[in-house]
Amino acid sequence: MARHRVLGTNSRVLVAAFGVMGVTALAAVWTAQAGTAEAGAGASPTTKPTPIVGQTSKPDPELPAPVVNMDIAHASDKGDKGVNITIDDGPDPTWTPQVLQVLKDNGVKATFCMVGPQAQAHPDLVKDVVADGHRLCDHSISHDTAMDTKSSAYQSKEILDAQRMITKASGGVKPLYYRAPGGAFTPYSRQIAASQGMRPLGWNVDSKDFEKPGVDAMVNTVKNEISSGPTVLFHDAGGDRGQTVEALRQVLPWLKQEGYGFGFPVR
């Protein structure tokens, strides 16, 4: 199982009054990152090491107090035979509806980790996700996989502005989780998220769908690694996600046959 870095932070300054960047500019930054990974010129936005299971730290008394657990979640609320399907980087007008249909066909609920400008651009899709009984997760504004090297003010802006965008797009339903782009968590970002009621969310199984390894490879990855832990990572944006749709179509029935149930990450 891969592991996230959990780095320290130099400053303890809460986000001040920032002007929100234009949606077009933010989307362009996010798209450029995704395009680089798609072209093979750099790492996938979600291939930093994943968070250490059981990683804990004491809340900083100088920051807002957490209202949910600030440790990185991996477990499923369905217990030892539970699986959490998580879908990152959307919503996307081409692929999110197809992912939603596969989930519906299999009676599976998932957690959608949304990028703020994507949610703002496609509020109808955010509402569709909520209407189908899935949960929302904050996946930042610009999908900056180097967030753990940036200032506390920058991290706050990325997290809190995305939370506002997603909540508005959903019609008032708040994200219940925060997943750092590429797993670039810090103790600061985890506490800021937890202070807003968003449990930091890791993963145990990376399907590697962002790299388009082929449907069989993705399905085999899930089959071979699901014993590592219940939270599985897929994507519904960042390029052609046709392989992801087909992999989900195959792997969800297999998980059921193996006696797994589908739940949500623990809160």
Per-residue model confidence as pLDDT tens digits over 177-206: 999 999 999 999 999 999 999 999 999 999
Host H or E run for residue 104: helix 96-105
Q: Which residue has the tokens 């962002």?
A: 210
Judge whether 118 and 90 are in contact, CB under 8 Å: yes
pLDDT in tens, 82-107: 999 999 999 999 999 999 999 999 99
Judge whether 200 and 75 are in contact, CB under 8 Å: no
Give this prediction's pTM: 0.82
Question: Would you please indicate which residues are annotated as catalytic (active-site) residues?
Answer: 88, 235
- DSSP state letters, 230-247: SEEEEES-SS--HHHHHH
Say how far apart CA 59 and CA 50 lie, in whole Å.
21
Say how far apart CA 103 and CA 238 lie, in whole Å.
19
Of all residues in the chain, the percent with pLDDT exceeding 90 is 78
Half-sphere exposure of 252 (CA within 13 A, CB side): 24
Domains in the chain (CATH in brackets) are: 41-56+66-262 (3.20.20.370)
Distance of CA 130 to the CA centre of its chain: 16
